[in-house]
Every structure is written in structure tokens, then in C-alpha cells.
A = this chain, B = another copy of it.
Amino acid sequence: MNPKNQKPEPLACDPMSLIAIKDTLQLLSGKWKIQIAGLLFRSGRMRFMDLQRAIDGIGVKMLSRELQELEENKIVSRTVMDTKPVTVEYELTAHGRTLEGVIVAISDWGVTHRNHLFKQPSV
């Protein structure tokens, strides 16, 4: 009945913190969400096109989609401005701003350990 290969029961020790990590990662999944949040954290409100210009390599589709998901999860708020032509501004919600610790930790680690990254490149 048991297949030959390993299919272990999870250990009783599945610590809360592992589940918490999983939750957070799921919320911030994808290539761009943390970058978007980090940018909004530093820059405050930003418009759609400015976000695209600031985030190297992102296309409109992914930006649109990631913003939608962040909005659904109350990380980012979306405000349609009464301008001609309409512009839309995005910013972190109060809840989104609680990600400060995560954003700063990730950013700081990247800065500090740049030399060590990716098998210690010749940079």
C-alpha cells in the first residue's frame, strides 16, 4: 500500500514560524510584489506609468496584475484621480506599511551581502 518511495507524514514539529513564512511568501509571491512594495515604501504615492518606469523590466500586464493582487490583500490602495486624462495613484495602506521590516531586511541583506551573492562574482 505504501509506495516504495518516501512519502513521510509531516513531523509533529511543524513550527508556527514555518507556516507563517509560507503565508507571507504566498502573499508576496511573484517576481515583482516586493519590489513594488519597496518602491512605494520609499516613494509614497506613485502613478501606474511611473511605477513601470521605475521598476526595471516589468511589463504592463504583470504590473497591472501584481497591483491588483496587492490591492486585494489590502497591501496597496488604488486611487483614481480626477484629472484629464485620468491618472491612478497607488500607495501602501497602513497594513502595507507594516511590511517595512520585511522590505528593509531584504533590501539591507542584499546591500550588505552583494559581494557574497551568486557565488561571489567578480564584481
Contacts and interface: CB of A to CB of B under 8 A. Distances in A.
Interface of A: 5-6, 8-11, 13-27, 31, 34-35, 38-39, 42, 49-50, 52-56, 60, 72-74, 95, 98-99, 101-114, 116-120
A119 B9 CA distance: 30
5 contacts: A10-B54, A14-B56, A15-B42, A21-B106, A21-B107
Contacts of A42: 15, 17
B114 A105 contact: no
Contacts of A50: 11
Given A6-B49, A105-B106, 15 more contacts: A8-B52, A8-B53, A9-B53, A10-B53, A10-B54, A15-B39, A17-B38, A19-B110, A20-B109, A25-B106, A73-B118, A74-B119, A101-B105, A102-B102, A105-B105
